[in-house]
Structure 1
C-alpha cells in the first residue's frame, strides 16, 4: 500500500526519542483490565458508549506502564489528573519521572510513556472528510497549503499531530491552542516550538507522537 508514513507494528512496545509507545487494534485486545475501586468510579461516571473505549485504552496503558515499571499490569492504576489527562500509579504512588498519554478510536488504541510531557493521538483515515470540514479551525492557510486536502492520510496526519501536541501541552483541541502549534513539515514531521514529533501509519489510522520539552506538569490526583 502506498503510504506517506512508515508503518508501525501493532502489539510490541516501540521506542522513539526516549518514549515508549504501543498501539493495537481494538479487536485484537484480549482480556478485561482489572480496575481498582478508584478506576471503577471513573468508568461508571462515563456515558455507556465511552466505557468500552476507556477500558480498552486503560488495558493498553496498564500493559505499557507495567512493562516500563517492571510491575504486573494488574498492579497499575491509570487515573485522571484534574485536567483529565491520565497518570499512571504503581503501589498507590505516581510512576516517577514519566508522563502518560492515551488515544483511542473506533478501531485502534495507543498509549505512550515518556520522561517529558508526551501526547499521542490516532486519527482514522476514514475521518479525513470530517477533518476537512473543520480544517480551518486547526490549520492555518499556510498549513493547509503544506498538507493539502486531497489525500486522506495527510489530513489525518496533520490532525493527529495537532491533537498529540495539545495533549503534550496539556491544553485542548478547542479554542486557539491548535493554531498556536505550527506544522512546519509532515515528512518528516516538524512542529514549531520545543517539540519533537513522529508520525506512523497504523493500519487504517495515522498515529502521531509529540514530545514537548520544558512543559510544567500539574500534580496528579492520587487514588482515593
Structure 2
C-alpha cells in the first residue's frame, strides 16, 4: 500500500474540499500576548476577555499551544468573513471542541478544528463538521502501544506497523474523524470509523479525508457530512 503523503508547506493558506487550512511551525508564530489586563494589548493575536479567561485558567505548559492554535483559527475566520481579529473569538464548548463567534454572535455555519504537536500547529475551517489532526512520525512507537484501542485488526493489517508515516497518518485520520464527530479517540466511536485506505485516504461513512506530510509530522483533514 502506498503511504507516501503529499507535502504541505507551513505558513500559507490552503484549501481542500471546501475547507480552509493553515499549518505552521510553532517557532514561526508571533509571541503570545500578555495575560495581565494591566498590560497593553499585544498583536497578534488579539484575545477577547472570554479567551483571556480561558487561557489564564490553563497550566503554563498548555497556554502557548492553546494560543498558537487560536491564532491560526482566528486568521482563517477573519479571511472567511472579512472580520478584524479583535471581533473573532474561538472558545471551547463543554466537550472541549472549539466554536466561533464574530462580534459576540455565534457562527453555526463556521466549523473549526485545531491541532498541535511540540513543533507544529494546524487549524481548519469549513461549512460542514471538520476535524484536523497532527501526529509526529516520531510518535509511531506510542501509536503502536495504543493501536488496539483505536484500530480494528483489519485496519492494523491494512496499515502495517513498521512504517512510522503510515502509523502517524492512520492515527491522525482517526483523531481528525472523531473531532469532526465531536467524540473521543479512546472509545467505541473511533472503532466505528473505518479506515479503508491510506493512499489516498478513504474512510467509511459520509466522510472525505486527506493526509499530508509537513516536516516531521503528518497532517490529516476530515470533513463529515451531517
Measure, in 1, the Cα distance between the counterparts of 2:110 and 2:90.
Answer: 13
Residue among 87, 109, 132 paired with 1:75:
87
Match of 1:9 in 2: 9
Match of 2:55 in 1: 43
- Measured after TM superposition, the shift of residue 96 of structure 1 is 4.6
Give yes or no for contact 2:143–2:171 (8 Å, CA) kept in 1: yes
Give secondary structure in 2 for the equivalent of 1:24.
Answer: strand
Distance 1:96 1:175, change over 3 A: closer
Measure, in 1, the Cα distance between the counterparts of 2:185 and 2:87.
Answer: 32
Measure, in 2, the Cα distance between the counterparts of 1:116 and 1:174.
Answer: 24
Give the TM-score, by structure 2 length: 0.91
User: Which runs of 4 or more aligned residues in structure 1 lie more than 2 Å from their structure 2 counterparts after TM superposition?
Assistant: none
Give yes or no for contact 2:87–2:104 (8 Å, CA) kept in 1: no
Alignment of 1:77-116 (within 5 A): 77-116=89-128
Give secondary structure in 2 for the equivalent of 1:110.
Answer: strand
**Root-mean-square deviation over aligned CA pairs:** 1.3
- Measured after TM superposition, the shift of residue 75 of structure 1 is 2.3
How many pairs were matched up?
Answer: 213
Match of 1:181 in 2: 193
Match of 1:137 in 2: 149
1:149-191 deviations in Å (ceiling 9; x for gaps): 0000000000000000000001011211111110000001000
Match of 2:35 in 1: none
- Measured after TM superposition, the shift of residue 69 of structure 1 is 1.2
Match of 2:21 in 1: 21
Give secondary structure in 2 for the equivalent of 1:58.
Answer: helix
Measure, in 1, the Cα distance between the counterparts of 2:210 and 2:72.
Answer: 20
Q: Which segments of 5 or more consecutive residues in structure 1 lack a partner in the other structure?
A: 215-224
